[in-house]
């Protein structure tokens, strides 16, 4: 068994050896607690037949734990300064592939087809850079990848928004978008003390299990998301106000919006945060004829 990367001393030694300096712009915070890394991997329920996709492997601390428990690991790393480090730290694990690409621009589906031949069970497991957490999660879900789910570390505040329920102040269009595709649960809270450099906020690990079918059936997925975004545009405003001001040509279509709200059996004076995902589905289907 090789020595763990994720100890404070080994992390410091690796960074010193390569003269590595953290880039604020890339949101680099490396984990230095092996127990927490193992617990993150536990939540992914990997077997020796599983594939794991990682985003932002850093110096390979989580990658190593994934490699020990899966058949194949594919990691996307945007920072080419880390490639020689990863080449050394992950040398004992020939079944790890590193792609030097921005995952937001990468063709992840093609990479999966190329790298995971014969592997049916694929999980994304990542310590996500805070500044691009939401776009990365949405891309992974919207690209309809053949994955079982996502276990990722992110800012606690974003995790709260993703797992939020109607009627809470955290609940918003992000909660609905993620819960449309997955079942979301917060798996664990992680203190800022287990990172170098220490971030300013606590983190959480969230587990997203992909649904076989979306949570609700809608006539137009893109319009459904447009309606949910519009409904939360200004949280203090009523649904009617948000929809008329946010939907294209909404100001001229106030009567149609009122009719659609009535058809969906939703009071126009309610606020977006009180609606369940089922109510948003009914509303977007009722509005669609007036906006397509």
Cα angle 198-202-203, degrees, rounded to a multiple of 5: 100
pTM of the model: 0.92
The pLDDT tens digits for 177-232 are 999 999 999 999 998 888 878 888 889 999 999 999 999 999 999 999 999 999 99
Decide if 243 contacts 250 (C-beta within 8 A).
yes
Residue 98, classed as helix, strand or coil, is strand
- Write out the binding residues for S-adenosyl-L-methionine: 29, 31, 56, 77, 102, 127
The residues near 110 (Cβ < 8 Å, ≥ 6 apart) are none
Cis peptide bond upstream of 197, omega within 30: yes
- Write out the binding residues: 29, 31, 56, 77, 102, 127
Tokens of 159: 């995790």
- Which CATH number is 8-210 given? 3.40.50.150
Q: Topology of 221-291 in CATH?
A: Helicase, Ruva Protein; domain 3 (1.10.8)
Q: What is the pLDDT of residue 24?
A: 66
pLDDT at position 25 over 70: no
The pLDDT tens digits for 111-147 are 999 999 999 999 999 998 887 899 999 999 999 999 9
Q: For the chain, which residues make up each domain, given as ranges?
A: 8-210, 221-291
The residues near 53 (Cβ < 8 Å, ≥ 6 apart) are 73, 74, 75, 76, 108, 112, 122, 123, 124, 125, 126, 147
pLDDT at position 26 over 70: no
């Amino acid at each position: 068994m090789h020595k763990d990367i994720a100890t404070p001393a080994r992390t410091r030694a690796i960074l010193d050896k390569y003269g590595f300096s953290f880039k604020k712009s890339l949101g680099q915070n490396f984990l230095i607690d092996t127990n927490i890394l193992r617990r993150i991997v536990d939540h992914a329920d990997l077997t020796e037949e599983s594939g794991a996709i990682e985003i932002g492997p850093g110096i390979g601390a989580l990658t190593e734990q994934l490699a020990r428990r899966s058949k194949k690991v594919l990691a996307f790393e945007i920072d080419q300064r880390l490639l020689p480090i990863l080449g050394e730290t992950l040398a004992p694990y020939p079944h790890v592939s590193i792609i030097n690409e921005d995952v937001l621009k990468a063709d992840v589906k093609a990479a999966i087809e190329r790298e995971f031949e014969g592997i049916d069970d694929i999980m994304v497991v990542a310590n996500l850079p805070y500044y691009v957490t939401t776009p990365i999660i949405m891309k992974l879900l919207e690209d309809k990848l053949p994955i079982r789910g996502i276990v990722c570390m992110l800012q606690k505040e974003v995790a709260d928004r993703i797992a939020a329920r109607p009627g809470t102040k955290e609940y918003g269009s992000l909660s609905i978008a993620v819960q449309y595709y997955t079942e979301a649960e917060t798996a664990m809270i992680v203190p800022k003390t287990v990172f170098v450099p220490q971030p300013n906020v606590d983190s959480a690990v969230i587990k997203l299990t992909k649904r076989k079918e979306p949570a609700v059936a809608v006539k137009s997925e893109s319009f459904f998301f447009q309606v949910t975004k519009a409904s939360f545009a200004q949280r203090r405003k009523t649904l009617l106000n948000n929809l008329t001001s946010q939907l294209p040509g909404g100001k001229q279509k106030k009567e149609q919006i009122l009719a659609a709200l009535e058809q969906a059996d939703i009071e126009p004076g309610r606020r977006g945060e009180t609606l369940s995902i089922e109510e948003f589905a009914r509303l977007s289907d009722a509005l669609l004829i007036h906006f397509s």
